[in-house]
């Protein structure tokens, strides 16, 4: 084939760049991505942006409704709870607990899961069969039940919840990495680099990983939406974040007593959780959509 | 099929082995004395402790201890609840059926809502209704279940007053416990108010079942949509169309049957997820099931109960898992092939 541009260097975008090119042309996915970035920024800078402290209450301003309500006060935009703590500040600090921690949990279990998964993909026979059966057993136990057991061993508290959820997610990543790596190893390009004399590790690092990274990311977004829900659920059940911490699930559980008098202490944290999970799922959906388009093109 | 059955049975034995090993090791991991965690007898006198140590072979090696533990479980002795000091076996027999009832009804609701919607989305692939159903599905998947439960109580029980918000049946009805599953017990009983009790029990189960069913239903929408799109692209559908069959005949006679097989395969995997949601929902709706009991046990540091609860719930999920595998293999001969260790 004749080259069209003789003087310019031809560039072949890497699979990842191709994916980004398709991803940014989907408006819904980009919207989700912007919300996701917004949440990340909020999680990092919450202590600087938040107008009030999340734990100190103002006893003159107890159970103030949100500002758009008739009895609302503009300086407390989303109202206050039963101790006069500003809901907006609590929700902002909650972002770094619920959303930020779920992000860290997913990255942590992703790294560990990918390492174990790709090593196990290179094994065969009885070891592989044993691992597969073992993963089947662990995956058949509901994630929340497993997290509850681990919390029962370690005792309630936010750091123990984080450990529990990280341990629960590792098998999922092992499973998906193992499956993806095995599938790639059957393809011809791996055979080609093997004929060149590349070692297993080199093939894994230079040939296989660039081709499965998007699949792992799509799994990571699924895991993160599950992690947000799990952290919030454990907080709601009183097993996760303990009393003064402004974790979204814990705020919601805290507001339950004043459900009829002050419904905003229940529906606002719920909306925050919903927003974070929808943003994460939109990003994941965008990645999967882009993957499908790239495969077809 | 025989080979397949054998393979599944060996998987079942292996799973039970791992699960009992897990719950056995929990006794060592939980705070407190191992033998007390095994048996739950916190107020044991020294002589009783000696007997317990002998029963659980605590002076022998770990393997003997494990065998002793498993033989206790197999003979139905799960120990005592540390909180109430009553045998855990009795509590589980009383509570597990309520959870089974709730999760099976929720599974039914999820399938009845999710699968047809998924088929409709697939038939109108890439049209407005497809996108609408998909975005609804994503929203439904993202709602935290405890929040949904609270909103449902607020709207349907308090706001509109249509449905009861807590419990399994009104306390006015006295139903004898036979199988534990409320609906069967009501039908078996010879009370003159049988049908009132039946309608009351159904009113109680509607809200929790729908709350549990929402997230699995959205997953069924995705699964059935993907399966249907795949089936509609096959050549036998094109052949049917070329033969001159009407659209209705193609969908109902060929497409739905083949798509359903693919979905049945995933029911078992979804069930674990569904039971998790059911556990949280039980807390909110005060449903007298094993999930609420487990979560309360954690608050009370009832380690024996946590241990047995884990064992029984995972066992139940795994049995459903294997059952769906069998149904799938019975319907689809292609699935009986080699799966592991290749």
Could you tell me the CATH number of the domain that includes residue B117? Answer: 1.10.3720.10
Which residue from B256, B85, B151, B154 is spatially nearest to A271, judged by alpha carbons?
B151
Q: Do B48 and B155 have their domain in common?
A: no
Give the angle subtended at the CA of B47 by the CAs of B42 and B53, to the nearest 5°: 70
pLDDT at A278: 92
Tell me whether residues B151 and A270 touch, CB distance under 8 A: yes
Q: What's the confidence (pLDDT) of residue B337?
A: 61
Contact yes or no for A270 and B18 at CB 8 A:
no
Of A62-76, A266-280, B166-180, B274-288, least confident by mean pLDDT is B166-180
Whether residue B64 is found in the same domain as residue B137:
no
Place of tokens 């599938």: A183
pLDDT of amino acid A111: 93
Contact B142 A277 (CB under 8 A): yes
pLDDT above 50: residue A72: yes
Residue after which a domain boundary falls, among B74, B103, B129 = B74
CB-based contact A232 B144, cutoff 8 Å: yes
Centre a 10 Å sphere on the Cβ of residue B326 and count the other Cβ atoms it contains: 14
**In terms of CA atoms, which chain B residue is nearest residue A260?**
B154
Residue that finishes a domain, picked among B40, B74, B108: B74
Shared domain for B163 and B282, answered yes or no, is yes
Q: How far is A195 from chain B (nearest CA, A)?
A: 23
State whether B25 and B131 are in the same domain: no
In a domain, B30, yes or no: yes
pLDDT computed for residue A112 by the predictor: 93
Residues in contact with B295: Cβ distance below 8 Å, sequence separation at least 6, in sequence order: A148, A237, A239, B279, B283
User: What per-residue confidence (pLDDT) applies to B163?
Assistant: 79
How many Å apart are CA B214 and CA B219, to the nearest integer? 9
Q: Is residue B271 part of a domain?
A: yes
Question: Average pLDDT over chain B, rounded to whole?
Answer: 82
What's the pLDDT tens digit per position in B59-111? Answer: 777 888 888 888 888 887 777 777 777 888 888 888 888 888 889 999 999 99
Q: Are residues B309 and B162 in the same domain?
A: yes
Domain count, chain B: 2
pLDDT category of residue A37 using cuts at 50, 70 and 90: very high
Task: Please indicate, yes or no, whether residues B59 and B194 belong to a single structural domain of this protein.
Answer: no
Distance of CA A268 to the CA centre of its chain: 21
Do residue B272 and residue A139 have CB atoms under 8 angstroms apart? yes
> What span, in angstroms and rounded, lies between the C-alpha atoms of B88 and B39?
10
Contact list, A274 vs chain B (CB under 8 Å): 142-144, 147
Q: Do A277 and B30 touch (CB under 8 A)?
A: no
CA quadruple B311, A111, A218, A119: dihedral sign: negative
Q: B32 and B94, same structural domain? A: no
pLDDT at B122 > cutoff 80: yes
| CB contact at 8 A, B274 and B313 | no
Residue A220 has pLDDT above 60, yes or no: yes
> For residue A201, is pLDDT > 50?
yes
Q: Is the pLDDT of residue A106 over 90?
A: yes
pTM, two decimal places: 0.84
Two tokens at A164?
């529990």
- Give the least confident one: A232-236, A275-279, B32-36: B32-36
In a domain, B82, yes or no: no
Q: What is the pLDDT of residues A138-164, one digit of tens each?
A: 776 777 888 888 887 887 888 888 888
Query: What is the arithmetic mean of pLDDT over B325-339?
Result: 74
Q: Is A86 helix (H, G, I), strand (E, B) or coil?
A: strand
The parent domain of residue B135 ranges over: 89-336
Question: What is the average per-residue pLDDT within B151-175?
Answer: 78
Two structure tokens written together for A220: 């990571």
Has residue A83 got a pLDDT over 60? yes
Residue B84 lies in a domain: no
What chain B residue is nearest to A149 in terms of C-alpha separation? B306
Neighbouring C-alpha atoms within 13 Å toward the C-beta of A286: 23
Same domain, yes or no: B57 and B132: no
Which residues have a Cβ under 8 Å from the Cβ of B330 and sit 6 or more positions away?
B1
B139/A152 Cβ within 8 A = no
Residues B241 and B307 in one domain: yes
| pLDDT of A110 | 93
Distance from CA of B193 to the nearest CA of A (A): 35
Please determine, for residue B340, whether its predicted confidence score (pLDDT) is greater than 60. no
- Scanning the structure block, which residue is given the tokens 């974070």? A276
Whether this model's ipTM surpasses 0.90 comes out as: no
- From the CA of A147, how many Å to the nearest CA of chain B? 11
Same domain, B58 and B109: no
Which pLDDT band, with edges at 50, 70 and 90, does B342 fall under?
Answer: very low
Which chain B residues touch A263 with a CB distance below 8 Å? Answer: 154
Distance (Å, whole) CA B139 – CA B127: 19
Cβ of residue A63 closer than 8 Å to a chain B Cβ: no
pLDDT of residue A104: 92
Alpha-carbon span A203 to A187, nearest angstrom? 12
Closest Cα of chain A to B242: distance in Å?
27
Beta strands per DSSP E along A32-170: none
Residue B341 within a domain: no
Which residue of B273, B306, B340 is in closest CB contact with A142?
Answer: B273
CA dihedral B131, B133, B139, B145 (to 10 degrees): -160
Provide, as residue numbers in chain B, all residues whose Cβ is less than 8 Å from the Cβ of A140: 15, 272, 314, 317-318, 321
pLDDT given for residue B341 in this prediction: 37
Token pair 């997610």: residue: A169
Whether B276 sits inside 8 A of A144 (CB atoms) is yes
Which of A140, A156, A259 shows the shortest C-beta gap to B317? A140
What residues in A contact B298, CB-CB < 8 Å?
Answer: 148, 151-152, 156, 239
**Cα–Cα distance measured from residue A227 to residue B142, given in angstroms and rounded to the nearest whole number:** 12
**DSSP assignments along A138-185, one per residue:** HHHS-HHHHHHHHHHHH-SSHHHHHHHHHHHHHHHHHHHHHHHHHHHH
Instruction: Mark whether B7 and B101 lie in a shared domain.
Output: no
Whether residue B79 is contained in a domain is answered as: no
- What does pLDDT average to over chain A? 84
Please give the pLDDT value at position A273: 92
In this complex, the residue of A142, A236, A270 whose CB is nearest that of residue B276 is A142
Structure tokens at B189: 């009983």
Q: Which residue has the higher pLDDT, A210 or A45?
A: A45
Query: Mind spelling out the 3-state secondary structure of chain B?
Result: CHHHHHHHHHHHHHHHHHHHHHHHHHHHHCCCCHHHHHHCCCCCCHHHHHHHHHHCCCCCCHHHHHHHHHHHHHCCCCCECCCCCCEHHHHHHHHHHHHHHHHHHHHHHHHHHHHHHHHHHHHCCCCHHHHHHHHHHHHHHHCCHHHHHHHHHHHHHHHCCCCCCCCCCCCCCCCCCCCCCHHHHHHHCCCCCHHHHHHHHHHHHHHHHHHHHHHHHHHHHHHHHHHHHHHHCCHHHHHHHHCCCCHHHHHHHHHHHHHHHHHHHHHHHHHHHHHHHHHHHHHHCCCCCHHHHHHHHHHCCCHHHHHHHHHHHHHHHHHHHHHHHHHHHHHCHHHHCCCCCC
Q: Name which of A171, A168, A163, A172 is nearest A240 in CA terms.
A: A163
Same domain, B263 and B188: yes
Q: Locate A231 and state its tokens.
A: 């952290």
What string of DSSP letters covers A203-238? IIIIIIHHHHHHHHHHHHHHHHHHHHHHHHHHHHTT
Q: Which of the listed residues B48, B74, B100 is the one where a domain comes to its end?
A: B74
Residue B81 lies in a domain: no
What's the confidence (pLDDT) of residue B339? 52
pLDDT class for A277, splitting at 50, 70, 90?
Answer: very high
**What confidence score (pLDDT) does residue B48 get?**
76
């Amino acid at each position: 084939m004749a080259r069209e541009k003789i003087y310019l260097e031809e560039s072949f975008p890497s699979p990842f760049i191709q994916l980004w090119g398709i991803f940014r042309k989907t408006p819904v996915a980009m919207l989700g991505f912007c919300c996701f970035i917004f949440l990340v920024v909020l999680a990092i800078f919450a202590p600087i942006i938040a107008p009030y402290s999340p734990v100190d209450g103002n006893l003159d301003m107890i159970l103030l409704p949100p500002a758009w309500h008739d009895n609302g006060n503009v300086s407390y935009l989303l109202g206050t709870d039963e101790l006069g703590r500003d809901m907006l500040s609590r929700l902002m600090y909650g972002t770094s607990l619920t959303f930020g921690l779920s992000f860290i949990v997913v990255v942590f279990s992703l790294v560990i899961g990918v390492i174990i998964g790709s090593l196990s993909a290179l094994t065969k026979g009885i070891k592989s069969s044993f691992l597969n059966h073992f993963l089947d057993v662990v995956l058949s136990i509901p994630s929340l039940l497993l997290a509850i057991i681990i919390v029962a061993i370690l005792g309630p508290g936010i750091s123990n919840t984080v450990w529990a959820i990280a341990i629960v997610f590792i098998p999922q990543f092992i499973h998906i990495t193992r499956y993806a790596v095995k599938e790639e190893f059957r393809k011809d390009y791996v055979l080609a680099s093997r004929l060149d004399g590349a070692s297993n590790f080199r093939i894994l690092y230079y040939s296989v990983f660039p081709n499965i990274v998007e699949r792992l990311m799509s799994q990571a977004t699924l895991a993160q939406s599950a992690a947000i829900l799990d952290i919030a659920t454990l907080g709601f059940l009183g097993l996760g974040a303990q009393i003064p911490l402004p974790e979204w699930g814990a705020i919601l559980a805290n507001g339950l007593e004043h459900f009829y008098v002050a419904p905003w202490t229940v529906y606002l944290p719920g909306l925050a959780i919903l927003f974070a999970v929808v943003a994460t799922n939109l990003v994941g959906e965008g990645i999967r959509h882009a993957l499908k388009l790239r495969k077809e093109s | 099929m025989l080979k397949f059955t054998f393979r599944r049975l060996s998987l079942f034995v292996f799973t039970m082995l791992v699960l009992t090993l897990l719950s056995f090791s929990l006794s060592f991991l939980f705070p407190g004395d191992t033998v007390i965690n095994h048996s739950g007898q916190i107020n044991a006198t020294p002589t009783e402790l000696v007997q317990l140590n002998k029963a659980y072979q605590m002076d022998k090696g770990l393997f003997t201890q494990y065998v002793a533990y498993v033989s206790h479980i197999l003979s139905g002795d799960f120990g005592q609840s540390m909180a109430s000091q009553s045998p855990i076996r009795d509590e589980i027999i009383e509570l597990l059926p309520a959870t089974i009832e709730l999760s099976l009804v929720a599974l039914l609701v999820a399938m009845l809502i999710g699968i047809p919607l998924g088929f409709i989305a697939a038939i109108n692939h890439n049209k407005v209704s497809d996108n609408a159903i998909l975005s609804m599905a994503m929203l439904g998947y993202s709602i935290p279940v405890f929040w949904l439960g609270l909103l449902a109580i607020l709207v349907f029980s308090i706001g509109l007053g249509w449905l009861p918000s807590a419990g399994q049946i009104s306390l006015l009805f006295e139903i004898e416990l036979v199988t534990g599953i409320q609906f069967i017990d009501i039908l078996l009983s010879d009370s003159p108010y049988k049908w009132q009790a039946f309608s009351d029990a159904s009113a109680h189960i509607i809200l929790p079942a729908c709350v549990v069913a929402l997230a699995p239903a959205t997953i069924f929408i995705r699964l059935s949509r993907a399966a249907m799109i795949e089936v509609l692209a096959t050549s036998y559908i094109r052949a049917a169309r070329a033969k001159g069959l009407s659209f209705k005949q193609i969908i109902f006679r060929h497409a739905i049957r083949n798509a359903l097989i693919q979905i049945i395969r995933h029911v078992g995997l979804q069930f674990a997820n569904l039971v998790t949601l059911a556990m949280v929902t039980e807390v909110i709706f005060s449903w007298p099931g094993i999930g609420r009991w487990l979560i309360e046990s954690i608050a009370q540091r009832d380690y024996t109960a946590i241990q047995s609860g884990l064992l029984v719930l995972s066992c139940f999920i795994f049995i459903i898992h294997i059952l769906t595998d069998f149904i799938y293999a019975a319907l689809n001969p292609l699935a009986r092939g080699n799966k592991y260790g290749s």
